[in-house]
Each structure stands twice: as structure tokens, then as C-alpha cells.
Amino acid sequence: MILCIAEKPSVARDIAKVLGANTSKQGYMEGGGYIVSWTYGHLCTLKEPHDYGAHLKSWDTYLLPIIPEKFGIKLIDSPSVKKQFEVLCTLIQNATEVVNCGDAGQEGELIQRWVLQKARCKVPIKRLWISSLTREAIKKGFENLQDSEKYDALYQAGQARAIGDWLLGINATRLYTKKFGQGKSLLSIGRVQTPTLAMIVERYKEIQAFDSTIYFELKTLYRGVEFLAQIERLTSKEKAEKGKEYLRQKPLEIVDFERKPTLEHAPRLFDLTSLQVEANRRWGYSAEKTLKLIQSLYEKKHTTYPRVDTTYLPEAMYEQMPELLASLTPYRKWVEGLPEGPLAKSPQVFDDKKVTDHHAIIPTNQLPSSSLGTEEKLVYDLVVRRLISVFYPPSKFSVTTALARVGTIDFKATGRETLELGWRVVYSQDNKPTKSDEESKEKQLPQMQKAEQGSHEPFIHQGKTSPPKYFTEASLLRSMETAGKLVEDEALREAMKASGIGRPSTRANIIETLFKRGYIERKKKNILPTATGIALVDTIENELLKSPELTGAWEFKLREIEKGNYRPEQFRKELSGMVSELVREVLSKKATVIQLPADPKALASEEKPKEKHQASPPLCPRCKVALREGKTALGCPNYQTCGFKIDFVQWGKKLSLTQLYQLVDKGKTGRLKGFDGTFEGKTQGVVVLSDSGDTTLK
């Protein structure tokens, strides 16, 4: 019997349907010569310090650094995890072959390998490697199963990452908590978390220290066009007035006039980070929320694998594009608007050298149903339009530059005019283009002749220097991607991804962790450090802990391990040496106590008394344990592995606990009013809970 192990029950069901394993059992499905089972994400984790010795449960600094000679793994302490692991152990012992059907990425490989290792799997292991969950993709994947050994380097990179995070997180957190928190305040330090916090604190300090100054610019109006003097900004109003008076006495002469046609190509296809950036820019979605939405679309078979860091497609996929585009029937008018003849095969879209395990995020040929949530529809729409747009011709516009002189002072004016929308038509509604930021600022210059002269109207513009902008999640994600460097060019960003902070799949979690720790906070769309976050960064003098560049260098080495070009033992040795040096350095410093505020979650719960109710909490439909009430949702205590939760607020209406309990127990609420109309325009209806854990309004 061949045993297939997926990462989630929902994925296991999709695979089972394709394989004909239609008989449900306790913890697995069977049929067609296959058994299909699942994990709940991570079933195993690295052992904790006290697992290597009871004395290591103590946080005494004399025990640091803690560097196990050999790292071990253990089951996560959860009844549902233990129960499913026992099922898997029995199935593995009776299997003739195991197919690893985990998510096709580094984390997915690590999750499955640890389970197979813990279960002492002795039978041959194959690997299913697919980029979408459509029936066709699963079927083709099983026809091309790979030997597990092909992905050994991927597993080694995942394990090296986990061990590196353990070494730094365990030792640095205990060290700083005992030294600077005096054991009363938990000071969390992380390999990626801390340099991310340091970037936010540094930006905040730059803004606070910024000394805004008043400046004056000389400008003049000629034929309705505003010209700017090409001199340094003036700091004296008196000098500006003298300059203005000088200009009044002289005519303006055009010394050069040029209209230059320019092409603007469509933005590249989405990787996870660029999708999160766009969703934050458009709708203010957090990185975590966008990841959740695109992951849901992937599991519903509407888009390809989302946790990717490439914006390219393999060249072989070019032949599939006409059929895929034709399947996107709701977008027919834009597909039919493509230039006649073969699709353009741009190297900015198709490049085998830029694709590793996965390609850019694109839609599949499986269209979503009307039950798709409003926010999912928005993200899906982004992905589809981006794919269609890359096959359109460039947008054409002209940039006009007029150079003038008044006496001895040079002036300049620029204008921009769109000539052909090109790919921008895909982002229009009813053929009415939605203007970009550049287009909304468009100003056309009238034709001018060299050497023409005329009267003009000089004036003084008074301005004020502006500080840097606070980070938003969009700009923070970009900075993490480029190790803190400000990079606008897409090609340069692509080249720097190997040395970014964290991975696309982990950055959202890192940002959320900083919020949960109380180190950063949101003010509208801006991200600011809290007093605690600032104090923590100020206390950390070791640049290795908070340098984005050095953390990016570690990320590069992890990617080299993944490629088989760097030994994981060397990476571990380097981090162990760094941790040992850090302990010696910090213990020699004089301590300045950092006092954390009360737990922000606890404060929030005190401010708003919990709703009184008599009914017992319902059981999680996946884990069969009692659900718990959180700050914003009713969720499973094993959420990290199970993933089940229901937000209190559904389409603008906050549901009571009684209504949420009813939703879980019966699968639907009674008829409710007060929704905001974002779900298919409905302001009333019955909230229905699907088997996958999604809610709809009927």
C-alpha cells in the first residue's frame, strides 16, 4: 500500500479525490491502492533546552550559551497532534512506499521530513512537487514523482534555519531577559525579528531628530507653464524677494525644447512580497492577511503556490498561456484586447534561470465560484490582471522638457502626456482608465520654439523640508526584501532577494510577532516602535543582532545550503561562535533595566469585559478541543497547527459569542442584519460555515 502524507486535511482530500481514495477512515482516506493522510502543519519541533537536561530549565546566565551537541526533535504537546501522529506511525509501518505531499517549499519539506524521521520511516520515500492543486496538476505530479533524495539540500537548509533561529532565539532571549529585564520582563530576541525592529526604530529616530527648515524657490509662469529656477533653495526671504525683483526686469527666453517618447512596461508578475505590498498599498491589508487570502485561493485551486520569491515563469509555460488566458472568461474583454498574433514572449516574464522550485503567482484555469469572499475576490483580481497585463504592449507616453533662461538664471519645466495606454487598459473599468499616481499628476506643455521670448510672471514658492516617511507594511516588506536598502528598480530588487531579511513566507509572521510582543504599533497605516521596542534596540549594542545587512548575509548562506553550495554544519558553527561571543560581551556590560508594560492582550481584555454567556464553548471541528475566545476571533488552542478560527467581525458586523457558537455547532447562524454590503451587496442574511472553515453570507 502506498501512503501519501499531505500537510493539511483539505489538501489531502483534493489528492484523495484524484487517486480514488474515497473511503474515509479515522485520520486518513483509502482506496485505489492508496492511503492518503495528513499532518496539521508542524507536528514536530526542535527539542527545548530542558529536554537536553532538567537543569537547563533554569534561565540562569551561568548556563549560557546553550549549544546542544546534537539537536533533536519532539512532538508538539497537543492531544490532536499526538493522536494524528499515532495514526501516521501505524500507516507508515504498514506502507510499502511513502509519498511526501507536503507543500512544495523549504518549510513544507522540513515539516514532512521531521514527521517521517520521528516515525522512523524505513520504506522508500517519493516526493510530489506541484505548483497548484488543480486535478490536472496533481495527476501530472503523481506521474512524475521524484526521489526524496533530490530534495535533501532543501531539507538541510530548512533544518539549518530552524537550528539557527533556536540558537540565537533561546540564548539571546534568556541573556537579555535576565540581564536587562531582571527576569521580570521577557525580552524577545530573534535572528530576523531584531534587525527588523532595529530598522523601524532607526527610521523613527531619524524622523524625531529631523529639523524641518523653511526654504524659498524662485518660480515663474510663462504661457501657463510653471518653470522652476535651477539654483539651490534659498533660506532667506529677503534674497528670494531680490531674486524675484531681478526676474521682473528680464524677459524669459526658451533655450531648448524636447519631446521624448518613452515606453513603460507592465509590472512583473507577483511574488508573495510584491503581492503583499500591492494589497497593503491599495487596501491597507496586513502582510499576514494577504498571505492568508492568497493561501486560501491556492488551496481552493484558483491560484498557484503563493510562498514564492520569483517574478518569472519557466520558458516551457509559454505554450500553456493561450489556453490559460482563454479560460479566464470573466476577463474576456481584456484577453480579447491582446494584440493579434502569437503572445509576446518577454524575457521579463519567461526565464528559466530565474525560476527555482516554483514560478511566479498566477491564476489556474479553475475559476472561482460566486461564494468566494469579497477580500479573496480582490486579491484574485490582482493576480489575474497582472498576468494578462504582461502580454500587452508597453504604455507609451512622452516626456517634455523645456529649458529657459531669465537673465543669468536658468529655469526648467517638465510635462508628461500619455500617448497609448498599452497594458494600463487592463486596469480600467468599462474602458475608462484608472489613473496611476503619475497620470494624475500629468501636465502637458504647449509646443515652444527655441529662442522664443516673452513676458512672464515670477513668484516665490515657500516650502518646508520633510522628514523621512514612517514605515508602512508595504515599505517595511520592501526593506526586508532588500536588507534595509531603498531600492525602486525591479531588476535590482530581484538580484538582492538572496540577501533579504527572512523569506517571503516568514516576513508576515515576523511583523505580527513584533506587534504581539508590544514592540511596534500601528497608527493608521504607519508602523511605529513602542517605548519598549526603542529601549530594547538601544540596549542591544551588538551589531550582529540588529544589522539588516549581516542578517541578509545569513539568509544568503541559507539559500546556498539549499542549492548544495554551502555546508549546514559550517552555518551552525558560525552561529554557535557568534552566540558564544555575544554571551561573553553582554555579561560584561553594565545592566540598564528595561521594564515592559503589561501584556497588551491582557490590557485589551480588561478594557472590554467579555460577554457573559452560559453555553460551553463548541469543539474545534478539526481538533475536537474546546475553542477559545481571543481578542479578535474565536479560535482553536492549537491554531498554529490546526489553523481554525472565526473572526468576530464578519463584513462589518460584530457577531456575539452566542452567534459564533451557533455558527460552529450548527454550521450557520440565524438571519442577521447590519452587514456592510461588501459581500455581494448584502446587508442581511445567514452566515454559513463551510467545511474548509470559510464563511459566506446567504
pLDDT band at 634 (very low <50, low <70, confident <90, very high): confident
Q: What is the mean pLDDT of residues 366-376?
A: 88
* In the chain, % of residues over pLDDT 70: 89
What is residue 470's predicted lDDT score, i.e. its pLDDT?
Answer: 95
pLDDT, tens only, 247-261: 999 999 999 999 999
Task: Name the CATH topology of 272-389.
Answer: Topoisomerase I; domain 4 (1.10.290)
With CA atoms as reference, report the closest residue to 507 among 159, 172, 169, 193.
193
Given the residues 305, 380, 566, 661, the one annotated as active site = 305
* 54-97 pLDDT per residue, tens: 999 999 989 999 999 999 999 998 888 999 999 999 999 999 99
Residues in contact with 312: Cβ distance below 8 Å, sequence separation at least 6, in sequence order: 268, 269, 349, 350, 351, 354, 355, 359, 360
Mean pLDDT of 581-602: 64
Residue 434 pLDDT exceeds 50 = no
Q: Which fold has domain 214-265+395-464?
A: Topoisomerase I; domain 3 (2.70.20)
Quick one: CA dihedral 636, 640, 643, 645, positive or negative? positive
CATH superfamily, domain 160-209+469-587, is Topoisomerase I, domain 2 (1.10.460.10)
Is 639 among the catalytic positions? no
What pLDDT shows up at residue 611? Answer: 37
pLDDT of residue 50: 94
Mean pLDDT of 419-425: 93
Dist. CA 687–CA 246, nearest whole Å: 72
Q: Give the start-to-end residue ranges of the domains of the chain.
A: 2-144, 160-209+469-587, 214-265+395-464, 272-389, 600-697
Q: Average pLDDT of 473-491?
A: 76
pLDDT per residue as tens digits for the range 548-558: 877 878 888 88
Mean residue pLDDT across the chain: 87
pLDDT digits (tens, 9 = 90+) for 293-349: 999 999 999 999 998 888 999 998 999 999 999 999 999 999 999 998 899 899 999
State the pLDDT at residue 608: 33
Contact 634/664 with Cβ under 8 angstroms? Answer: yes
Give residue 437's pLDDT band: very low, low, confident or very high (50, 70, 90).
very low
Strands 2-6 and 225-229: unpaired
Q: 2-144 architecture in CATH? A: 3-Layer(aba) Sandwich (3.40)
Torsion of CA 106, 108, 112, 115, to 10 degrees: 90
Q: How far is CA 513 from CA 193, 203, 536, 570, in A?
A: 8, 19, 15, 29
* Calpha distance 330→485 (Å, rounded): 40
